[in-house]
């Protein structure tokens, strides 16, 4: 049986998903200010590595824990929901099935408390 990593197109598919995801985030005025001083090339690489790992691909994420990364940002459940919406939309544009999209969003949702520092 193929993994979520395979269903999302492997490394290249996830890189393309992340590009589409950040296009949407950067166009969202409630989220883009959080990235105003961020090296977006590095951010995309980190996000890709993170998604590859949580979507059953090779372990390659070497970044900080979610709690550390998001500490002090004062993110709210509304921010998290916006991120989930952008991930869903990016997946749809990339042709990911609704079932695989739901699985991917559910994986990210398991980290909601860590991301929101709750």
- In tens, the pLDDT along 76-99 reads 999 999 999 999 999 999 999 999
Cα gap 57→44, rounded to integer Å: 17
Q: In the CATH scheme, what is the homologous superfamily, with its name and number, of domain 4-115?
A: Globins (1.10.490.10)
Q: What is the pLDDT of residues 33-87, one digit of tens each?
A: 999 999 999 999 999 999 999 999 999 899 899 989 999 898 999 999 999 999 9
Q: Is the pTM of this model over 0.85?
A: yes
What does the pLDDT read at residue 118?
A: 79
101-114 tens-digit pLDDT: 999 999 999 999 99
């Amino acid at each position: 049986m193929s993994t979520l990593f395979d269903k999302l197109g492997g490394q290249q598919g996830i890189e393309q998903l992340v590009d589409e995801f950040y296009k949407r985030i950067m166009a969202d005025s409630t989220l883009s200010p959080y990235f105003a001083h961020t090296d977006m090339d590095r951010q995309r690489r980190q996000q890709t590595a993170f998604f590859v790992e949580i979507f059953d691909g090779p372990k390659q994420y070497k970044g900080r824990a979610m709690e550390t990364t998001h500490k002090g940002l004062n993110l709210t459940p509304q921010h998290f929901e916006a991120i989930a919406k952008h991930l869903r939309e990016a997946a749809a544009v990339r042709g990911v099935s609704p079932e695989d999209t739901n699985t991917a969003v559910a994986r990210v949702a398991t980290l909601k408390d860590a991301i929101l520092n709750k």
